[in-house]
Amino acid sequence: MKNFTEELKNCILDKNVTHRVFRGVLNDVPKLNDFLEYLEEAKKQNKHRSDFPGFNIINGPAYNDLFKIKNAENFDKICSEAYEEPIKSHHGYSIVISEIIDGEQGVKKSGISSHVDEHDTIHWACDGRSIWIISDDNGDHEYVLDSGDIIYVKENTLHDVRSLSKRAGIIFCAR
């Protein structure tokens, strides 16, 4: 894991890197059902948003709740070390849960449309598959993420995400 943390840190520090995919870095992943249970609790507390049916985002989950999800605390530790900050400071989290699939039964939207984030984003694909389209000065780059993969996207980098299967992931948002 130390190598991954160093590679991630190098991406963060390199002004020319807009994104990078890390394959199979954190393979001991929580399953979709773990996230669906978490989502039900978030719905009861009105702590989620749904941009359209079957697609949910939980912004700013409490650490004590988030860290109940398998390996989430380890993901936090890796990302925090890469940013050289103490755990639980200067960053936040989001959780993405998609129960719909791009193109299935006429579904035209299954993820987050093209957008930029005002912070670095590190997405851990926990269960399922997604396609990411990153746009930068070198053109468009397309990647399929599988469970265990991690993608780093530098702040203000245009990206689009669609679900190729039912999926769930945890997003580290550097501030």
Q: What is the pLDDT of residues 121-153, one digit of tens each?
A: 999 999 999 999 999 999 999 999 999 999 999
Domain that holds residue 107: 2-174
Helices (H), the chain: 2-13, 32-44, 63-66, 72-82
Token pair recorded at residue 136: 């930068």
How many domains does the chain contain in total? 1
What confidence category does residue 38 fall into, taking pLDDT thresholds of 50, 70 and 90?
A: confident
Identify the CATH number of the domain in which residue 39 sits.
Answer: 2.60.120.650
